[in-house]
Amino acid sequence: MQDTTEADYTARLRAKQDVWWKRALHVQAPYQWNIRRQGLGRTLEIGCGIGRNLATLAAGSVGVDHNVESIEEARSRGYAALTVAEWEASDLRVPDAFDGFLVAHVIEHMDASQARAMMNDYLPYLRPGGRVLFVCPQERGYDSDPTHVEFVDGEALCSLAADVGLVPQRSYSFPFPRFTGKAFIYNEFCVVATKPLKVP
């Protein structure tokens, strides 16, 4: 199994994203639309990889990733991106500073306890009322990557959100109906959740 912290994982992300036919057909367009329509505002992308989604997010958004090589690649593409160590020392690390979180193709790379711990680490930096978009692959996509650890469907994402104090608002399959995920590699589970408003 590959390690997602290693340089070869970054090379894999780069090769997948930059293949000529994906650029020619602009296959990311529907996925970019799906992110934009959530109205996440200034977003912290947790597990940003080489920055594919950062181009879609609002001004002032920041990506964080544990792969140093991936962060270097994201910066070379002009994105604001930090390693986890840099994030922990950053002056961007201010409570309630972000309007939204994007957690796309991250949760399936860890077990449930690790996912809860990770979200609890970051949630203080999401403002009350802020939105979180979780995205995980369906069956065909899950099977395509040897670094995946645990299959996570919409129900499990809703449970994770509730476990860390978020309120699930919507769970859906994208871009095609749920049954498509058994054959189509890029079908995704999406869950939108909100951080409760502070009680006076």
Model confidence over 149-166: pLDDT tens digits?
Answer: 999 999 999 999 999 999
What are the pLDDT digits (tens) for 49-67? 999 999 999 999 999 999 9
- Could you tell me which of 17, 27, 34 has the C-alpha nearest to residue 173? 34
CA distance 3 to 122: 22
Whole-model pTM: value is: 0.91
Q: Tell me if 136 sits within 8 A of 162, measured CB to CB.
A: no
